[in-house]
């Protein structure tokens, strides 16, 4: 099956700093989503981005499907950005999402 | 937007009891739902695909007799952990996709934290 690798596995940032999280995948994908899992376990969908670039406030994401990677940018990080960021992909409309292992982000004041 | 509701959010039970977790799609019909399991500080692992009106498809290594899945309607799938044991303690989360269109994103429930004593 498709493999999803995320880097870095852990990241500590000073409040206000910027960061880039990376997601590599091993095959062509139909769908790619970025999630933030909050301390209560809830998955918050950040972006649905099988290709191209999207921005939402301080967050933006870019997927280069031909090169099989996606990047999540966090600018001016805040302590509330802390948590685990997951990248997940599927290969067709009928298949489930396959998750990467996540990037655990800690933003310190 | 679409919402997937999952209940209960947290359950504590004694070893040997069965626990039912419900997953509902609130504003769309879902012919397919997915059940995931997450251990502490680990990623989400797919357990099974729940298909409305037919048997669930389980991933390799998942005991179908331990984790019973019923998808009796287009808006409800249930996961029953039968004769739960402490090793079944985990975070369980469901997801659903609208049946129309091949490029719809998956929506997730808020998860259920199961603790078996």
Q: Which residue is it, tokens 């977790």?
A: B21
- Residue B86 in contact with partner chain A when CB distance is under 8 A: no
> DSSP 3-state assignment of B86?
helix
- Residue A39 in contact with partner chain B when CB distance is under 8 A: no
Residue range A37-64, pLDDT digits in tens:
988 888 999 999 999 999 999 999 999 9
Report d(CA B8, CA A107) in Å as an integer: 31
Instruction: Give pLDDT, residue B30.
Output: 86
Per-position pLDDT tens, chain B of length 117: 558 999 999 999 999 999 999 999 998 888 889 999 999 989 999 999 998 888 899 999 999 999 999 998 889 999 999 999 999 999 999 999 876 555 567 889 999 999 999
Instruction: Give pLDDT, residue B99.
Output: 62
Chain A environment of B36 (Cβ under 8 Å):
99
Instruction: Give pLDDT, residue A93.
Output: 73
CB B68 within 8 A of CB B82: yes
DSSP class of residue B32 equals E
CA-based nearest distance B23→chain A, Å = 14
**Who contacts B36 (Cβ-Cβ below 8 Å, separation ≥6)?**
A99, B44, B45, B46, B47, B92, B93, B94, B95
Report d(CA A44, CA A54) in Å as an integer: 16
Instruction: Give pLDDT, residue B101.
Output: 57
- Residue ranges, chain A, pLDDT below 70: none
Chain B environment of A63 (Cβ under 8 Å):
none
Q: Which residue is it, tokens 């357990």?
A: B47
Chain B environment of A42 (Cβ under 8 Å):
108, 110-111
How many Cβ contacts (< 8 angstroms) between chains A and B? 56
- Residue B101 in contact with partner chain A when CB distance is under 8 A: yes
Chain B environment of A29 (Cβ under 8 Å):
none
């Amino acid at each position: 099956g498709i493999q999803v690798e995320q880097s870095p596995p852990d990241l500590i940032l000073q409040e206000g700093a910027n960061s880039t999280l990376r997601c590599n995948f091993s095959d062509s994908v139909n769908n790619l989503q970025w999630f933030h899992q909050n301390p209560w376990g809830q998955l918050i969908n950040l972006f649905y981005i099988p290709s191209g670039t999207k921005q939402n406030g301080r967050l933006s994401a870019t997927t280069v499907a031909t090169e099989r990677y996606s990047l999540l940018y966090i600018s001016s990080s805040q302590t509330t950005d802390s948590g685990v960021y997951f990248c997940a992909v599927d290969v067709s409309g009928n298949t489930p999402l396959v998750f990467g292992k996540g990037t655990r982000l800690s933003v310190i004041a | 937007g679409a919402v997937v509701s999952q209940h209960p959010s947290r359950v504590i039970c004694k070893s040997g009891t069965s626990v039912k977790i419900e997953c509902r799609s609130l504003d769309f019909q879902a012919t397919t739902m997915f059940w995931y399991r997450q251990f502490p500080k680990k990623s989400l692992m797919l357990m099974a695909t729940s298909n409305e009106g037919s048997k669930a498809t389980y991933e390799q290594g998942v005991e179908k007799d331990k984790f019973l899945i019923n998808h009796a309607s287009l808006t409800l799938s249930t996961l029953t952990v039968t004769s739960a044991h402490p090793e079944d303690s985990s975070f369980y989360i469901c997801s659903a996709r609208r049946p129309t269109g091949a490029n719809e994103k998956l929506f997730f429930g808020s998860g259920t934290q199961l603790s078996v004593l």
